[in-house]
Chain A
Amino acid sequence: QQPVQSPQAVILREGEDAVINCSSSKALYSVHWYRQKHGEAPVFLMILLKGGEQKGHEKISASFNEKKQQSSLYLTASQLSYSGTYFCGTALISGGYNKLIFGAGTRLAVHP
């Protein structure tokens, strides 16, 4: 039931772009994206609901393809502050709108 995130790790130079994917085998109501810095709590980035609406947060945006049960997180012109582990959390249609199942995470390192 756990969504699959890819890639597991990404290394970027400042200014480069990256895409992180999240894929589920179950029908989804929504996908959440969180970022966690080392030793800190996860912080909410954005939520995508059924309908494929694309959301944005500064230079970070995301999309949700409900037919494929997939979401992608786009990081444009990456900054040093983007480093951390990114988690997608999925809410299943069958599981209720508030309960999330998280992927294993994607570690992102941005270097000068």
Chain B
Amino acid sequence: DAEITQSPRHKITETGRQVTLACHQTWNHNNMFWYRQDLGHGLRLIHYSYGVQDTNKGEVSDGYSVSRSNTEDLPLTLESAASSQTSVYFCASSGRAGSHEQYFGPGTRLTVT
């Protein structure tokens, strides 16, 4: 069955370190998205991509970067982790013909100490 996976599921890192969160989908979807979820804020869009080599900034992109070298993967990199980036991160994809519904991965809980 097609799916979307994220790794790691839990990560603890130190302030200033570079961290990369992986997202992999097997639906062959063109559109992929990264969100962070914090209490009281819902889901906030970090970066998104509409296809290979395409990346765009979302609402809260400062301190984050993405790259899209193939259809299946959209890794999210925190260049220099800060305590304010402690959050739950969700990856999602969409692109099924005739539908814009987004399928979410299981999430990565990141703690920056």
Contact = CB atoms under 8 A, between A and B. Distances in A.
B40 A30 contact: no
Interface residues of A, number: 22
Contacts of B94: 98
A102 B101 contact: no
A47 B45 contact: no
A102 B44 contact: yes
Contacts of B43: 42, 87, 89, 102
Interface in B34-80: 35, 40-45, 48, 50, 58-59
A51 B42 CA distance: 27
A47 B44 contact: no
Interface in A84-112: 87, 89, 91, 97-105
A98 B42 contact: no
A100 B90 CA distance: 14
Interface of B: 31, 33, 35, 40-45, 48, 50, 58-59, 90, 94-95, 99-107
18 contacts: A1-B59, A40-B106, A42-B90, A42-B104, A43-B104, A47-B101, A87-B43, A89-B43, A89-B102, A91-B100, A97-B100, A98-B31, A98-B48, A98-B50, A99-B48, A101-B45, A104-B40, A104-B42
